[in-house]
Copies of this chain bind each other. A is one copy, B any other.
């Protein structure tokens, strides 16, 4: 059985964690059988591990017997530096941006070859999109992704392009040379933009967020409807917003010397 062969040689910790990886954005509530199948663990083992995880609060059971990620794991996640640091520093600035522009505001970091949305504020009249915090997107198709790729080590772009640039619309940049030239422009002019490269009808503008040392640690972007948006207008409030986040990150550094 695939389950048993995948299970062989894994430590108990790895197996307990693999129970948790059965959950993803498309699978937030799972039966025990589905957990065992998706994590490649025999049902009896899954039953015991899920019981231990439930007792601790890592998973919780619905009224209908399905499992979901528990409140205690959510609480632990809130302690991650991306949440206590970046998101916490950026949120009030994102609120102001959302209020001033009436467009959707994205905060994202790069993890390997994807951008991870740390926070998203939506404006009712702006572009419709279903993405949630924790959601992942390619790097070459969005404003925040282009910023993150433009400021990644050179080897990352090379490896990213070698995997092939996935096409999402007729306007997606799928030619590595063209992407490389565009990322040079992103670095020189200080912001990225996209036009219907991920979703038809939507455009985006994004700027890098730097920490106190000047290193690019995240990207801040606006997503708008193409028919209404003027990228040159959208970028104007983004640049001072990025500065404001940088100042708030520097304040955090001063306030929290990080007692361990």
Interfacial residues, chain A to chain B (CB-CB below 8 A): 11-14, 16-17, 20-21, 23-25, 27-31, 34, 49, 52-53, 56, 58, 60, 66, 68-71, 73-84, 88, 91-92, 95, 98-99, 109, 111, 116, 121-122, 124, 132-134, 258-260
Contacts and interface: CB of A to CB of B under 8 A. Distances in A.
B71 A109 contact: yes
A25 B84 CA distance: 9
Contact of A98 (B81, B95, B111): B95
Contacts of A30: 260
Given A13-B16, A30-B260, A92-B122, A80 B69 contact: yes
Contacts of A258: 29, 66
Given A132-B84, A133-B83, A71 B13 contact: no
A132 B88 contact: yes
Chain B CB within 10 Å, residue with most, of A25, A71, A75, A259: A75
How many copies of this chain are found per oligomer? 2
A11 B71 contact: no
Contact of A83 (B66, B74, B98, B122): B74
Contact of A95 (B11, B28, B69, B121): B121
Chain B CB within 10 Å, residue with most, of A88, A95, A134, A260: A260
A77 to B, nearest CB: 3
Which 6 pairs from chain A and chain B are nearest by CB? A77-B77, A78-B134, A12-B12, A74-B80, A74-B77, A69-B80
16 contacts: A12-B12, A12-B13, A13-B13, A13-B49, A28-B79, A69-B79, A69-B81, A73-B73, A74-B77, A74-B78, A76-B77, A77-B77, A78-B133, A91-B122, A92-B124, A99-B99
